[in-house]
C-alpha cells in the first residue's frame, strides 16, 4: 500500500479534466495555460490537459472558474454494463483508497444500454468492492456526505473517463457566502462575468466597481478579490482529499506563492459600491464581505435603484437583474430594466456597463446599444452578458425613430453569433397575440367549454385543461381550483432560445387573457415552469420560489397544493380515478401505499373507512407533506402511519398482511446509499411478488406505473390473476395521452 510520502519533486505529467460551468470553457483554458498546463483542450463544461501535481494544485488554488480538478485514472470504450465493470476493474483501487477510507461515485452521460447514471455509479462501485473482496480485504463503505475518495465517471460518445477528485468539494464554494438571498450567482460565474467585462482595470489609479442591484454581494466581493489578487484558495482554504499520492510540499509552495501575491496586491487603491432595495440582502452582503476579508473595500447602501448614487464616477457598472421567474412578474421587471437604463445614463456616462440576463430581449429596455454579448448559463438557464459603453453615441434619443432597427449601432463585435441589442428608452406594451397564439387561445376556450363543463358535472376542482393539443404549443396546463399550473415541455434543440421565449410569452399571455375573460382568474394565479425529465434526487429539490400553499378538494378529500416550490405540485391528476376507486372500496381494509408521494391515495382510503394504513416513501419532504394532508382531513395518525424507508427494504422486512395495496413506483429510483437501484421494467416481477407475499388471500394489489414502454412480464400473468384496468383508470381529461400510465388489478 502506498504511503502519504510521495517522491520528492514529482514531475510526472498526469491527465486531468478540469470542470467548469457550461460557457466558461474558453476562459478556463486561458487560466490553465497561465498555470502552466500542457496540451490544453476544451470540452463541454470542462477542459482536458496534462500537468504535474504542482500545476494541478495551482489550478485548485488560483483558478476562479473551475469547479473540480479530476485526475484521470482510466479511459476506454464502453457500451454495456459488462464493459463498464471491466473498465473500472482495470484500476488498482487499493493504490488510491487505503483500508478504512470511504468513497462516493458520481456519474454523467451514458450509452444506448447504460441509460441511468445511478446504475452506472452502482456498477463502478461493484467493480471496486469486488476487487477488494477478491484480495480478502474489507470492502470500502460508501459515504455521500464526506467521502475520502470522490470518483467521477463520464461517458461521452461511448467512451468512459474515470477520475479522482483531488480537492473533494466543489471549488466554486469560497465559504464566505453562508447567507444569501434568492437566485444567487455562483462565485465562479460571477468571476467569469467580471473577466468578460474587462475587470480588474489595473491601468486606472482609483477604479470604482458598482452593482446597483447587488443582492448578497457576490459580484462585488469577487471583483475586489480579483483586484487585490487574493486567490480563491486562500479564501476557501484549499485542503486536499486524503488521496495517498498528494505532494503536500508542492501544495504548501503554491499556498505560499498565493500569500505573497496577496500581500503585493494589497496596495490596490480602488473601491466597490453596492446598493439594493432589500435591507435583508444588504445585511447578507456586508457579512459575506467580512467573511471574505474585503469589507474594508466595499460600501453597501440600502436604497431603490431610482435613488442610487455612486460615491464617484464608476469604472464598471455590473449587475444581474431579477429574472421574473413567474411571468406574472414580467411587467415589474421590465420596468426595472427601464430604470436601470435611466440610472446608467444619469450616473455612469463614460463607464462600461455589463448586464447579465436570462431575458436578453429585455436589454432593449435599457435604451443603450450593446456592443458585445456572451452566451452563458446561470445553472441550467441560458443567459447572456450584455456589454455596453455608456456614451452619447450608444444611447437612443427620446425622439428616435419608431423603428430602432434604422439606427446604426456601434460596431458589434459578437460572441457566439449573437446580434447586438438596440432599442428605444421606454418599456413596450404587452405584445399583441400573433395568429398562432390566437389559435392557441381559441383551443383553450374550446377545452374550457368542454372539459370545464365535464369537470363541473363531476365535482372535479382539479383537472388537465390542455396537454400539447397543438404540437407547436407544447404545454401541459392544469386547473387547481382558482390556480393554473402551466408546464412547458422542453423545446427541441432545433428551436432557438429566442424563438422558444417568444412563443412561451405569447402562450402565457393567451392563457392569462382566456382565464381572465372566462373565469376571472388573475395573471398572478398562473404559474409557469419548464418541464424536463428529472434524475435522482432533483425532483425533491426546492425551486427558488417558496410559493403559496392552498387547499383543493377531490371527492371527500382535501389536499395541500404548491405550484411553485417543487417541480411536482403535490397531486398527480392522472391518478384521480384510481384514488376515487380506492376511497370507494377501502372500507374495513388494511391499506398499504408504496412510493406514496404525498399520500393522497391514503387520504381517500382513510376517508373511505380503511381500518388502518401504512404509507411508505424515501422522501422526508413528501412525508411531511402527507402528514399535513392527514391533518387537513382529520385523519388519526395512530391508525394511519407514515414510514420513511426505501420501499424495497420495507417489502423485505415487513411481516404484516394487507387487504389492499397500491404500488405506483417510479420508472427508476435509488436509495441514498446506492445499495438498492430500482429499474421498474427489470424489477417489477420481484416487487409484485413481494407485495403478493403481504397480500391477504382475497386481497387486491393495484399496480401502476408511467413508463411509456413498459411491458408486464409473462411470468406475472402466469402466476397471478391479472386484470388490465388501464383504460378505465384514465379520465376524459387525459384521454389524449393513453400512455400517461398503465394500471393492473392483481389477485392471488
**How far apart are the C-alpha atoms of 362 and 451, rounded to whole Å?**
37
Residue 567 has pLDDT above 90, yes or no: no
Q: Regarding predicted confidence, which is higher, 256 or 737?
A: 256
The pLDDT assigned to 326 comes to 53
Q: pLDDT tens-digit profile of 157-178? A: 999 999 999 998 899 999 898 8
- Residue 432 CB coordination number (10 Å): 9
CATH code (residue 519): 3.30.750.80
Determine contact, residues 660/613, Cβ cutoff 8 Å: no
User: Are 310 and 440 found together in one domain?
Assistant: no
Question: Is 459 within the bounds of a domain?
Answer: yes
Question: Looking at the whole model, is its pTM more than 0.75?
Answer: no
Q: pLDDT tens-digit profile of 413-463? A: 334 333 333 233 333 344 568 899 999 999 999 999 999 999 999 999 999
- Residue 306 CB coordination number (10 Å): 13
- The x, y and z cell numbers of residue 526, run together, are 398562473
User: Are 401 and 450 found together in one domain?
Assistant: no
Residue 686 has pLDDT above 50, yes or no: yes
**How far apart are the C-alpha atoms of 169 and 239, rounded to whole Å?**
9
CATH code (residue 334): 3.40.50.150
Burial of 471 (0-12, 13-18, 19+ CB in 10 A): exposed
User: Are 632 and 665 found together in one domain?
Assistant: yes
User: Are 331 and 209 found together in one domain?
Assistant: yes
- The x, y and z cell numbers of residue 600, run together, are 393522497
Structural domains counted in the chain:
4
User: Are 441 and 336 found together in one domain?
Assistant: no
The pLDDT assigned to 676 comes to 63
Determine contact, residues 97/103, Cβ cutoff 8 Å: yes
% of the chain at pLDDT higher than 70: 88
Edge-to-edge order in the sheet of strand 372-378 = 298-302, 271-276, 208-211, 316-319, 352-357, 381-389, 372-378
State the Rg of the chain over Cα: 29
The pLDDT assigned to 67 comes to 95
The pLDDT assigned to 429 comes to 40
Of the candidates 404, 217, 426, which has an alpha carbon nearest to the alpha carbon of residue 341?
Answer: 426
User: Are 377 and 278 found together in one domain?
Assistant: yes
User: Are 88 and 32 found together in one domain?
Assistant: yes
Determine contact, residues 680/131, Cβ cutoff 8 Å: no
Residue 333 has pLDDT above 90, yes or no: no
The pLDDT assigned to 15 comes to 95
The pLDDT assigned to 364 comes to 87
The pLDDT assigned to 1 comes to 33
Q: Mean pLDDT over all residues of the chain?
A: 87
The pLDDT assigned to 412 comes to 36
Of the candidates 473, 496, 472, 499, which has an alpha carbon nearest to the alpha carbon of residue 486?
Answer: 473
Residues 6+ apart with CB under 8 A from 697: 748
- The x, y and z cell numbers of residue 565, run together, are 416550490
**How far apart are the C-alpha atoms of 484 and 169, rounded to whole Å?**
40
DSSP state of 118: H
Determine contact, residues 367/396, Cβ cutoff 8 Å: yes
325 band by pLDDT with thresholds 50, 70 and 90? low
**Residue 129 Cα distances to 79, 225, 383, angstroms:** 22, 43, 43
Residue 744 has pLDDT above 70, yes or no: yes
User: Are 717 and 569 found together in one domain?
Assistant: yes
Question: Is 500 within the bounds of a domain?
Answer: yes
Q: pLDDT tens-digit profile of 189-215? A: 999 999 999 999 888 889 999 999 999
DSSP codes joined into one string, 326-391? SGGGHHHHHHHHHHHHHHHHHH-TTSEEEEEES-GGGGGGG-B--SEEEEEEETTEEEEEEEEE-S
Residue 401 has pLDDT above 70, yes or no: no
Cis peptide before 200 (omega within 30 of 0): yes
Question: What are the two backbone dihedrals, phi and then psi, of residue 243, each rounded to the nearest 5 degrees?
Answer: -50, 130
Query: Which helix (H) or strand (E) covers residue 640, if one does?
Result: strand 640-644
Mean pLDDT for 527-534 is 65
Determine contact, residues 690/676, Cβ cutoff 8 Å: no
User: Are 559 and 441 found together in one domain?
Assistant: no
Determine contact, residues 215/285, Cβ cutoff 8 Å: yes
User: Are 494 and 599 found together in one domain?
Assistant: no
User: Are 451 and 590 found together in one domain?
Assistant: no
% of the chain at pLDDT higher than 90: 70
Residue 379 has pLDDT above 80, yes or no: yes
Residue 385 forms beta bridges with which residues? 356, 374
Question: Is 415 within the bounds of a domain?
Answer: no
- The x, y and z cell numbers of residue 568, run together, are 411536482
Instruction: Report, in this order, helix, strand and coil percent for the chain, each rounded to 5.
Output: 35, 25, 40
Question: Is 80 within the bounds of a domain?
Answer: yes
User: Are 573 and 722 found together in one domain?
Assistant: yes
- The x, y and z cell numbers of residue 501, run together, are 421565449
SS3 at position 308: coil
Q: Regarding predicted confidence, which is higher, 541 or 419?
A: 541
Question: Is 289 within the bounds of a domain?
Answer: yes
184 band by pLDDT with thresholds 50, 70 and 90? confident
Question: Of the residues 485, 500, 532, which one is the last residue of a structural domain?
Answer: 532
SS3 at position 553: strand
The pLDDT assigned to 495 comes to 72
Determine contact, residues 614/656, Cβ cutoff 8 Å: yes
Determine contact, residues 152/106, Cβ cutoff 8 Å: yes
SS3 at position 86: helix
CATH code (residue 28): 3.30.2130.30
Determine contact, residues 248/77, Cβ cutoff 8 Å: no
Mean pLDDT for 269-295 is 94
Question: Of the residues 505, 532, 559, which one is the last residue of a structural domain?
Answer: 532
Question: What are the two backbone dihedrals, phi and then psi, of residue 680, each rounded to the nearest 5 degrees?
Answer: -65, -35
62 band by pLDDT with thresholds 50, 70 and 90? very high
- The x, y and z cell numbers of residue 78, run together, are 464502453
Please give the biggest Cα pair distance in the chain.
86
DSSP codes joined into one string, 577-629? HHHHHHHHH-TT-EEEEES-TT-HHHHHHHHTT-SEEEEEES-HHHHHHHHHH
Residue 383 has pLDDT above 70, yes or no: yes
Question: Is 233 within the bounds of a domain?
Answer: no
Structural domain boundaries, residue 191: 187-226+269-406
Question: Is 2 within the bounds of a domain?
Answer: no
CA–CA–CA angle 194, 197, 203 (5° rounding): 95
The pLDDT assigned to 419 comes to 32
- The x, y and z cell numbers of residue 608, run together, are 373511505
**How far apart are the C-alpha atoms of 84 and 82, rounded to whole Å?**
5
Residue 479 forms beta bridges with which residues? 463, 484
Question: Of the residues 116, 132, 165, which one is the last residue of a structural domain?
Answer: 165
503 band by pLDDT with thresholds 50, 70 and 90? confident
The pLDDT assigned to 431 comes to 54
Question: Is 173 within the bounds of a domain?
Answer: no
Mean pLDDT for 242-268 is 95
Residue 608 has pLDDT above 80, yes or no: yes
The pLDDT assigned to 420 comes to 31
Q: 279-292 and 218-227 are packed helices; what angle lies between their axes, rounded to 10 degrees?
A: 30
Mean pLDDT for 618-635 is 96
The pLDDT assigned to 77 comes to 94
406 band by pLDDT with thresholds 50, 70 and 90? very low
538 band by pLDDT with thresholds 50, 70 and 90? very low
Residues 6+ apart with CB under 8 A from 123: 81, 84, 85, 88
Amino acid at each position: 500500500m502506498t504511503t502519504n510520502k510521495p517522491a520528492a519533486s514529482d514531475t510526472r505529467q498526469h491527465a486531468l479534466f478540469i470542470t467548469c460551468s457550461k460557457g466558461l470553457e474558453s476562459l478556463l483554458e486561458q487560466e490553465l495555460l497561465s498555470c502552466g498546463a500542457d496540451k490544453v483542450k476544451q470540452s463541454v463544461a470542462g477542459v482536458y490537459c496534462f500537468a504535474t501535481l504542482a500545476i494541478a494544485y495551482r489550478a485548485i488554488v488560483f483558478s476562479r472558474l473551475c469547479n473540480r480538478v479530476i485526475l484521470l485514472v482510466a479511459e476506454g470504450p464502453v457500451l454495456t454494463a459488462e464493459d463498464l465493470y471491466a473498465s473500472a476493474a482495470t484500476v488498482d483501487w487499493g493504490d488510491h483508497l487505503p483500508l478504512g477510507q470511504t468513497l462516493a461515485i458520481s456519474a454523467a452521460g451514458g450509452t444506448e444500454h447504460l441509460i441511468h447514471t445511478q446504475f452506472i455509479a452502482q456498477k463502478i462501485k461493484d467493480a471496486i468492492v469486488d476487487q477488494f473482496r477478491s484480495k480478502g480485504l474489507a470492502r470500502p463503505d460508501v459515504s455521500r456526505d464526506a467521502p475520502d475518495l470522490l470518483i467521477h465517471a463520464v461517458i461521452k460518445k461511448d467512451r468512459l473517463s474515470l477520475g479522482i477528485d483531488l480537492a473533494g468539494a466543489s471549488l466554486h464554494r469560497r465559504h464566505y457566502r453562508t447567507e444569501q438571498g434568492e437566485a444567487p450567482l455562483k462565485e465562479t460565474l460571477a468571476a467569469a462575468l467580471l473577466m468578460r467585462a474587462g475587470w480588474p482595470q489595473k491601468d486606472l489609479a482609483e477604479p470604482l466597481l458598482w452593482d446597483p442591484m447587488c443582492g448578497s454581494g457576490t459580484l462585488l466581493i469577487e471583483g475586489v478579490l480579483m483586484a487585490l489578487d487574493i486567490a480563491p484558495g486562500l479564501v476557501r482554504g484549499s485542503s486536499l482529499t486524503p488521496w495517498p499520492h498528494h505532494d503536500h510540499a508542492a501544495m504548501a509552495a503554491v499556498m505560499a506563492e498565493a500569500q505573497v501575491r496577496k500581500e503585493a496586491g494589497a496596495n490596490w487603491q480602488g473601491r466597490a459600491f453596492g446598493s439594493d432595495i432589500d435591507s435583508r440582502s444588504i445585511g447578507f452582503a456586508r457579512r459575506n464581505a467580512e467573511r471574505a476579508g474585503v469589507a474594508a473595500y466595499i460600501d453597501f447602501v440600502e436604497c431603490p435603484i431610482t435613488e442610487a448614487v455612486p460615491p464617484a464616477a464608476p469604472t464598471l457598472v455590473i449587475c444581474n437583474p431579477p429574472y421574473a421567474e413567474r411571468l406574472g412578474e414580467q411587467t415589474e421587471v421590465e420596468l426595472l430594466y427601464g430604470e436601470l437604463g435611466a440610472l446608467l445614463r444619469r450616473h455612469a456616462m463614460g463607464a462600461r456597463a455589463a448586464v447579465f440576463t436570462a431575458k436578453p430581449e429585455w436589454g432593449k429596455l435599457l435604451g443603450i446599444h450593446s456592443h458585445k454579448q456572451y452566451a452563458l448559463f446561470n445553472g441550467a438557464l441560458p443567459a447572456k452578458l450584455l456589454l455596453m459603453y455608456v456614451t452619447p453615441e450608444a444611447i437612443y434619443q427620446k425622439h428616435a425613430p419608431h423603428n430602432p432597427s434604422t439606427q446604426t449601432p456601434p460596431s458589434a463585435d459578437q460572441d457566439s453569433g449573437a446580434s447586438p441589442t438596440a432599442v428605444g428608452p421606454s418599456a413596450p406594451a404587452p405584445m399583441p397575440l400573433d395568429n398562432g397564439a390566437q389559435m392557441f387561445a381559441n383551443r383553450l376556450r374550446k377545452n374550457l367549454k368542454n372539459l370545464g363543463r365535464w369537470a363541473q358535472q363531476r365535482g372535479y376542482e382539479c383537472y388537465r385543461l390542455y396537454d400539447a393539443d397543438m404540437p407547436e404549443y407544447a404545454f401541459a396546463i392544469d386547473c387547481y381550483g382558482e390556480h393554473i399550473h402551466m408546464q412547458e415541455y422542453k423545446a427541441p434543440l432545433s428551436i432557438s432560445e429566442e424563438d422558444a421565449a417568444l412563443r412561451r410569452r405569447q402562450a402565457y399571455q393567451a392563457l392569462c387573457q382566456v382565464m381572465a375573460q372566462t373565469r376571472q382568474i388573475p395573471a398572478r394565479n398562473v404559474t409557469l415552469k419548464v418541464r424536463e425529465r428529472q434524475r435522482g434526487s432533483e425532483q425533491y429539490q426546492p425551486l427558488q420560489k417558496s410559493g403559496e400553499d392552498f387547499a383543493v378538494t377531490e371527492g371527500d378529500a382535501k389536499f395541500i397544493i404548491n405550484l411553485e416550490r417543487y417541480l411536482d405540485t403535490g397531486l398527480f391528476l392522472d391518478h384521480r380515478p384510481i384514488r376515487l376507486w380506492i376511497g370507494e372500496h377501502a372500507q374495513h381494509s388494511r391499506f398499504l401505499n408504496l412510493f406514496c408521494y404525498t399520500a393522497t391515495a391514503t387520504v381517500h382510503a382513510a376517508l373511505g373507512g380503511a381500518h388502518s394504513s401504512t404509507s411508505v416513501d424515501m422522501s422526508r419532504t413528501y412525508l411531511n407533506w402527507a402528514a399535513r394532508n392527514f391533518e387537513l382531513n382529520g385523519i388519526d395518525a395512530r391508525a394511519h402511519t407514515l414510514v420513511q424507508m426505501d420501499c424495497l427494504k420495507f417489502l423485505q422486512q415487513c411481516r404484516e398482511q394487507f387487504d389492499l395495496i397500491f404500488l405506483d413506483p417510479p420508472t427508476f429510483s435509488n436509495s441514498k446509499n446506492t445499495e438498492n437501484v430500482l429499474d421498474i421494467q427489470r424489477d417489477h416481477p420481484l416487487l409484485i411478488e413481494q407485495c403478493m407475499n403481504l397480500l391477504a388471500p382475497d386481497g387486491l394489489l393495484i399496480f401502476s406505473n408511467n413508463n411509456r414502454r413498459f411491458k408486464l412480464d409473462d411470468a406475472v400473468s402466469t402466476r397471478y390473476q391479472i386484470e388490465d384496468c388501464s383504460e378505465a383508470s384514465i379520465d376524459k381529461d387525459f384521454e389524449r395521452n393513453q400512455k400517461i400510465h398503465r394500471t393492473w388489478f392483481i389477485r392471488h
